[in-house]
């Protein structure tokens, strides 16, 4: 019996299945992504990188930065915090509810919690426990909020407030998510270090900015030149051990400026529908011709994240 046709069909089916799984399916999932609005705000996200930042992506790729740095913040799940924002008018009932929620807390001690609100009542609890606590605190006009807080080792390290998703790379080509972490994740490095000058100094002498850094210096992105009339505003301010000899200065080349601009633009921290995150909306600026009563009032209503009854900053106020 001739098994040739069967072998051919089996090989064709295997290759076709791989193509559908590794090429077509990702294209259907990611290829149709569009710009969206951030949760609780009308701002569009993401925005295309322009000018120096766009050129900086090419410098980032050309110098192999993705070999040591990832742009993939990971999380293991979300927890909920309950924040008491207003005490209301029936404080005895509220104190009793607080004492019930906080085991071992007397009503006298609970009274101290009402001195400066908002305050965190429960932290890192399940959604069901948080909703039950909010219901118990709903006495006498008291108000509380449920905060959605992503958790995970990367988030605990401060690398980002939420997990990275495909939409974060919508306008980047090529996408450089990286696969190793010899250095820290850079998905939100622009929010952690927003000063381009800091990045330039770090590129020139990593150990000067981060003690014990394993990153090699990228001094070929800079040039030493003679000072003609005055020190250039772009010249790096360096310690004596790293500074050029008298009469010379160290200035960044265009590639260094572009790379620093790209790093500053890495801020994948907006709350999206697929990544629920609790953030606070900024209070509006006071009106120019506001009355005294209106001028003293502020609107600190937090933005609402998906799955939350209310939203608030990711970092709760100190107890």
State residue 291's pLDDT score. Answer: 37
Q: Parallel, antiparallel, or unpaired for β 222-226 and 248-252? A: antiparallel
Q: Is residue 62 located within the same domain as residue 188?
A: yes
Domain count, the chain: 2
Of 132, 151, 170, the one marking the end of a domain is 151
Does 40 reside within a domain?
A: no
Of 265, 283, 304, the one marking the end of a domain is 265
Q: pTM of this prediction? A: 0.76
Q: Is residue 165 located within the same domain as residue 220?
A: yes
Q: Parallel, antiparallel, or unpaired for β 222-226 and 119-125? A: unpaired
Q: Is residue 114 located within the same domain as residue 248?
A: no
Q: How many Å apart are CA 146 and CA 129, to the nearest integer?
A: 10
State residue 309's pLDDT score. Answer: 39
Does 173 reside within a domain?
A: yes
Does 103 reside within a domain?
A: yes
State residue 154's pLDDT score. Answer: 96
Residue 115, SS3 per DSSP: coil
State residue 186's pLDDT score. Answer: 97
State residue 319's pLDDT score. Answer: 35
Q: Which pLDDT tens digits describe the chain residue by residue (319 residues)? A: 688 888 888 888 899 888 888 777 767 666 677 787 776 667 788 889 999 999 999 999 999 999 999 999 999 999 999 999 888 888 888 888 888 887 767 666 767 777 778 888 889 999 999 999 999 999 988 999 999 999 999 999 999 999 999 889 989 988 899 989 999 999 999 999 999 999 999 999 999 999 999 999 999 999 999 998 899 999 999 999 999 999 999 999 999 999 999 999 999 988 888 888 887 655 555 544 433 333 333 333 344 443 343 333 333 333 3
Does 32 reside within a domain?
A: no
Q: Is residue 161 located within the same domain as residue 239?
A: yes
State residue 301's pLDDT score. Answer: 37
Q: Is residue 82 located within the same domain as residue 230?
A: no
Return the bridge partners of 272, or none.
275
State residue 64's pLDDT score. Answer: 94
State pLDDT tens for residues 215-265. Answer: 999 999 999 999 988 999 999 999 999 999 999 999 999 999 999 999 999
Q: Is residue 127 located within the same domain as residue 239?
A: no
Of 103, 129, 151, the one marking the end of a domain is 151
Q: How many Å apart are CA 199 and CA 214, to the nearest integer?
A: 15
State residue 312's pLDDT score. Answer: 36
Q: Is residue 247 located within the same domain as residue 128?
A: no
Q: How many Å apart are CA 131 and CA 193, to the nearest integer?
A: 36
Structure tokens, 12: 């064709």
State residue 179's pLDDT score. Answer: 87
Q: How many Å apart are CA 257 and CA 197, to the nearest integer?
A: 9
Whether the bond into 264 is cis, omega within 30 of 0 = no
Q: Is residue 63 located within the same domain as residue 173?
A: yes
How many of the other CB atoms lie within 10 Å of CB of 182?
Answer: 11
Q: How many Å apart are CA 207 and CA 219, to the nearest integer?
A: 13
State residue 181's pLDDT score. Answer: 92
Q: Is residue 70 located within the same domain as residue 191?
A: yes
The closest alpha carbon to 297, from 313, 283, 310, belongs to: 283
CATH of the domain at 114: 3.30.1390.10
Q: How many Å apart are CA 117 and CA 13, to the nearest integer?
A: 64
Residue 193, SS3 per DSSP: coil
Structural domain of residue 82, as residue ranges? 77-151
Q: Is residue 61 located within the same domain as residue 171?
A: yes
State residue 280's pLDDT score. Answer: 64
Buried-exposed string 236-249: b where 16+ CB fall within 10 A, e elsewhere: beeeeeeebeeeeb
CATH of the domain at 251: 1.10.760.10
């Amino acid at each position: 019996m001739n098994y040739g046709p069967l072998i051919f069909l089996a090989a064709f089916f295997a290759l076709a299945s791989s193509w559908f799984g590794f090429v077509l399916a990702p294209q259907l999932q990611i290829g149709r992504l569009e710009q969206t609005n951030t949760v609780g705000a009308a701002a569009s996200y993401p925005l295309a990188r322009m000018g120096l930042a766009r050129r900086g992506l090419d410098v980032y790729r050309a110098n192999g930065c993705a070999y040591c740095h990832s742009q993939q913040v990971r999380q293991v799940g979300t927890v909920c915090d309950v924040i008491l924002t207003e005490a209301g008018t029936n404080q005895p009932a509220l104190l009793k509810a607080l004492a019930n929620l906080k085991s071992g807390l007397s009503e006298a001690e609970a009274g101290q919690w009402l001195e400066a609100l908002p305050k965190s009542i429960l932290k890192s609890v399940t959604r069901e426990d948080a909703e039950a606590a909010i219901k118990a605190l709903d006495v006498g006009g008291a108000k509380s909020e449920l905060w959605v807080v992503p958790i995970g080792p990367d988030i605990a390290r401060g690398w980002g407030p939420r997990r990275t998703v495909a939409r974060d790379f919508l306008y980047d080509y090529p996408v450089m998510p990286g696969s190793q972490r010899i250095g820290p994740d850079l998905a939100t490095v622009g929010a952690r270090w927003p000063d381009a000058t800091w990045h330039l100094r770090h590129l020139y002498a990593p150990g000067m900015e981060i003690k014990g850094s394993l990153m090699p210096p990228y001094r070929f992105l800079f040039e030493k030149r003679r000072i003609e009339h005055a020190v250039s505003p772009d010249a790096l301010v360096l310690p004596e051990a790293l500074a050029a000899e008298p009469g010379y200065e160290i200035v960044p080349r265009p590639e260094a400026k572009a790379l620093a601009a790209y790093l500053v633009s890495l801020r994948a921290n907006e709350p999206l529908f697929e990544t629920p995150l609790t953030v606070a909306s900024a209070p509006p600026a006071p009106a120019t011709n506001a009355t005294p009563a209106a001028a003293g009032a502020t609107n600190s209503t937090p933005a609402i994240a998906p799955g939350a009854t209310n939203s608030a900053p990711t970092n709760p106020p100190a107890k």
